[in-house]
Amino acid sequence: MAVIVFAVLVIAGIVLLFNAPMQRDTGRRPGRIAGVVLALVGLGGVLSQSIVSVPAGYVGLKDFFGKISDATLAPGIHVVNPLLVIRNMDVRTQEITETANVPSKEGMNVSLDISVLYSLHSEQAADIYRTIGRDYSKIFVIPTLRSEVRGATTAYEAKALYTSQRQAIAQTIYDNLKPIFADRGITLEQVLLRSVTLPNQLAQAIEDKLKAEQEAERMRFVLDRERQEAERKKIEAQGIADFQTIVSEGINQNLLRWKGIEATQKLAESANAKVVIVGGQDGLPLILNTKD
Architecture in CATH for domain 94-198? 2-Layer Sandwich (3.30)
pLDDT at 176: 92
pLDDT at 272 over 70: no
Give CA 163 to chain center in angstroms: 17
pLDDT mean over 203-211? 63
Residues 6+ apart with CB under 8 A from 15: 35
pLDDT at 163 over 80: no
Top-confidence residue, 228 or 83: 228
Q: How many degrees, rounded to 5, is the angle at CA 234 between CA 231 and CA 238? A: 140
Burial 226-253 (b: 16+ CB within 10 A, else e): eeeeeeeeeeeeeeeeeeeeeeeeeeee
Burial 64-80 (b: 16+ CB within 10 A, else e): eeeebeeebbebeebeb
- Give the residue among 132, 131, 124 at the shortest CA–CA distance from 186: 124
Contact status, residue 287 vs residue 260, Cβ threshold 8 Å: no
Contact status, residue 125 vs residue 91, Cβ threshold 8 Å: yes
Top-confidence residue, 210 or 237: 237
pLDDT digits 0-9 by tens, 64-90: 888 888 888 889 888 887 778 889 999
- Give the residue among 263, 256, 249, 250 at the shortest CA–CA distance from 283: 256
pLDDT digits 0-9 by tens, 243-256: 777 766 666 666 66
Name the percent of the chain lying above pLDDT 70: 61
HSE-CB for 186 with a 13 A CA cutoff: 27
Burial 96-134 (b: 16+ CB within 10 A, else e): eeeeeebebeeeeebebebebebbbbeebbbebbeebee
Name the percent of the chain lying above pLDDT 90: 20
pLDDT tier at 191, thresholds 50, 70, 90: very high
pLDDT mean over 13-31? 58
pLDDT at 273: 54
Q: What is the largest CA-CA distance in the chain?
A: 174
pLDDT at 262 over 90: no
Instruction: Let me know if 170 is exposed, middle or buried by CB neighbors in 10 A (0-12, 13-18, 19+).
Output: buried
pLDDT at 136: 92
pLDDT digits 0-9 by tens, 100-118: 887 777 777 777 889 999 9
Weakest mean pLDDT among 19-23, 46-50, 131-135:
19-23
pLDDT at 186: 94
pLDDT at 141: 93
Query: Mean pLDDT in the chain?
Result: 76
pLDDT at 9: 55
How far apart (Å, rounded) are the C-alpha atoms in residues 210 and 159? 10
Contact status, residue 40 vs residue 10, Cβ threshold 8 Å: no
pLDDT at 56: 92
How far apart (Å, rounded) are the C-alpha atoms in residues 53 and 51? 7
pLDDT at 288: 53
Residue type, 64: F
pLDDT at 120: 93
pLDDT digits 0-9 by tens, 209-224: 666 677 777 788 888 8
pLDDT at 102: 79
Contact status, residue 129 vs residue 89, Cβ threshold 8 Å: yes
pLDDT at 19: 64
pLDDT digits 0-9 by tens, 25-66: 555 565 666 656 666 665 666 666 678 889 999 999 998 888
